Structure 1
Amino acid sequence: MPLRLPPLPALRFFEAAGRHQSFKLAAAELNVTPSAVSHGIVGLEKMLGVELFVREPRGISLTASGADYLSYVSEAFSLIVIGTQRLPNHRANRPIALSCAPTFASRWLLPRLQNFRARWPHVNVTVDTSHRQVGFPVDGFDFAVRMSRAPVAGTAWTRLFGEQLVPVCSPAYLESLRDTHGTPLLRKATLIHVNAASEDWQAWLEATGMEGVDPGDGLRVDTIQLAFEAASMGLGVALGRRPLVDRDLTSGALVEAASSTIASSTAYWLVSAEDAQRRPELFDFRQWMLAEAGQFSCDSSVGAHAPQ
């Protein structure tokens, strides 16, 4: 007698909602309405005879049974994806799919991607900068670049590089900060903060021991890109993050507002599924990323200043 399986669409709704802990985010990922996700999961719960989610005014959460079931459903989807990928010629001409933050993509990855294309002209790359959680291999991604203090279990994490943090501003703004002796005074500056940054002015001030600067005042933006743009417009001093800020320092659009450079406690990591390197082009891409990252690691060790 054949096994009676739950309907696949309902299982997809459940897996995505369980991973995101949100019907809305699951709907956005699957390109359906939140109502469709909700109704599909209700039908699945009726079929199984068990509640999978706790519905509350502020959101949803998995029940104990739901969390246990999610582990099996996620593993089943992963096996289907892996089995499909291993079919003969299935991978032919499939682009390498990478997920990363927008600022990392525009300021580090894209300027270097031509070098990869020159060496492997027939390998295409897809870059996704949407802010969403990536599951390997269910979501179809091969790699992700993430910021973290340490690797996370369950996937393959390889450290790319850590950031070097240094205050930056426009040349004209730097002149406005100088005292009668020509020394720039950071305490006179408007600090530009990045709300989403894991390390910002408070971390830099504590590491350098600089006093007289209020880390709470200033202009606040939601991305590193906006912070750099605001600084280049003379709106204040941003915390530059090398290598993301390197092109602005090289062009002269931004200059260092203080000589103290500190190493970030977080780093960029290249994340992938454990078996991602079975495809030759994925192995080549990974090795290329590591080689490009290694160049900054060598340069930063020479160019960084000790805190003063």
Structure 2
Amino acid sequence: MEKHADFCPSIKSLRIFEEVAHYGNVARAAEEVNITASAASHQLAKLEKELGCLLFNRSPKGMTLTLAGENYLKEISPLLLGLTQASTRLGNEKARSALRIHCAPSFGLLWLLPRLHKFRERYPAIQVTLSCSYENLSFSRDNIDIAVRHGFPDWKSLEVKTIRHEKMSVLASPDYLIKHPVATPAELINHALILSESPLIQWPQWFAAMQLAQPTKDWLFRFDRSYMSLEAARLGHGVVFESELLAAEYLRSGTLVRVFGDECSLPVNAHHLVWPRGFARFPRVSHFLQWSSEQLEASPPA
């Protein structure tokens, strides 16, 4: 199909393209934009015809972006996001100053929430909305300004700033250690161990790094949320291997302590500030990026 120099696809077809790229499934994408799967397939086929290239590889397992599709998504996602937010906030001055943050639940509860009042004190005109889940939400569809994501940083179409100097350490409550002293790493194999399943580095990797045999008895507890693991350790149930970034308030208050020195801690780059390209020019986003950097660079807990 011959295209004019000012050719521009419809917003509807671009939205379908973005949703299919996110879900890898036409039917699921169609639900998000409230049309039938047949109509969504038609819009997608029309877009590919107009562009003159395939955007997806299709298989029984789903749809994955082609190289052309990946590049196109990088280009249009910031534009769609800007269009969505501009339309939503038009004529609403208060909404323009609202900062919408999404983050992993444990980071939101354990690190961000205890400090968020400091951000509000510095920038009282910025209204903060915080949502938490382990799903990587769409910035445009879910109207998010900035996210704190947990995992491996594989978000090529977004700006990413990895939180540095995070480390995983063996932690326990002082009461637990009084009742169950631990002198060496090798002794932990006989202790009640709480397994955190969400961190990128867990107990098995720690035992391997310490060149110790893996525990053979069952874990005392297994939790898929770090805040549950840390609370269980604070209550004196057992020993946990967790992020000092998330455990900062426990360490500062003394309700949890390091069982060993730094030589038994492992570095990890697991949390990342993520935002769409160009969003750092918005004052609400730039202020949060600057403030969070200051908080993260502050002295670690004693």
- Normalised to the residue count of structure 1, the TM-score between the two structures is 0.75
Correspondences of 1:137-216 after superposition (within 5 Å): 139-147=142-150, 153-178=156-181, 185-209=187-211, 211=212, 214=215
Q: Does 1:54 align with 2:58?
A: yes
2:170/2:265 contact within 8 Å kept: no
User: What is the letter of the counterpart of residue 78 of structure 1?
Assistant: P
1:138-190 residue CA offsets vs partner (Å, 9 max, x unmatched): 653221223456685443222333322222233443234238x9999322112
Q: Distance in 1 between the 2:235 and 2:42 partners?
A: 55
Correspondences of 1:1-308 after superposition (within 5 Å) = 8-9=11-12, 11-22=14-25, 26=29, 30=32, 36=35, 38-45=37-44, 47=46, 52=56, 54-56=58-60, 59-62=61-64, 64=66, 68-69=68-69, 71-72=71-72, 75-82=75-82, 92-93=93-94, 94=96, 95-135=98-138, 139-147=142-150, 153-178=156-181, 185-209=187-211, 211=212, 214=215, 217-218=218-219, 219-260=221-262, 261-295=264-298, 298-299=299-300
SS in 2 for 1:238: strand
Q: Which runs of 5+ in 2 are unaligned?
A: none
SS where residue 201 of structure 2 aligns? coil
Aligned residue type for 1:276: F
CA 1:215/1:124 → structure 2, altered by over 3 Å: closer, same or farther? farther
Distance 1:42 1:274, change over 3 A: closer
Partner SS, residue 288 of structure 2: helix
1: CA distance between counterparts of 2:153 and 2:112? 22
Q: Deviations over 1:212-247 (max 9, x none)?
A: 552884132211112112223443211132131122
> Which residue type is aligned with residue 195 of structure 1?
E
* Conservation of the 8 A alpha-carbon contact between 2:151 and 2:270: yes
Alpha-carbon RMSD across the aligned residues, in angstroms, is 3.9
How high is the sequence identity, in percent, across the aligned residues? 25
Helix, strand or coil: the match of 1:193? strand
8 Å contact kept, 1:177–1:184:
no
For the 8 Å contact 1:85–1:91, the answer to whether it is kept is: no
The number of equivalent residue pairs is: 289
Query: Deviation of residue 266 (structure 1)?
Result: 1.5
Q: Residues 244 and 215 (structure 1 numbering): CA distance in 2 closer, same or farther, change over 3 Å?
A: farther
Deviation at 1:252, TM superposition (A): 4.0
Distance 1:118 1:138, change over 3 A: same
CA deviations 1:65-113 (Å, max 9, x no partner) are xx63564366345324435767996673231122210110111111111
Distance 1:5 1:132 in 2: 32
Q: Distance in 2 between matches of 1:46 and 1:294?
A: 49
AA at the equivalent of 1:105: G
State the alpha-carbon separation in 2 of the partners of residues 200 and 256 from structure 1: 16
TM-score (norm 2): 0.76
Q: Secondary structure of 1:178's match?
A: coil
| Distance apart, 1:286 and its partner CA | 1.2
For residue 200 of structure 2, give the secondary structure of its aligned residue in structure 1: coil
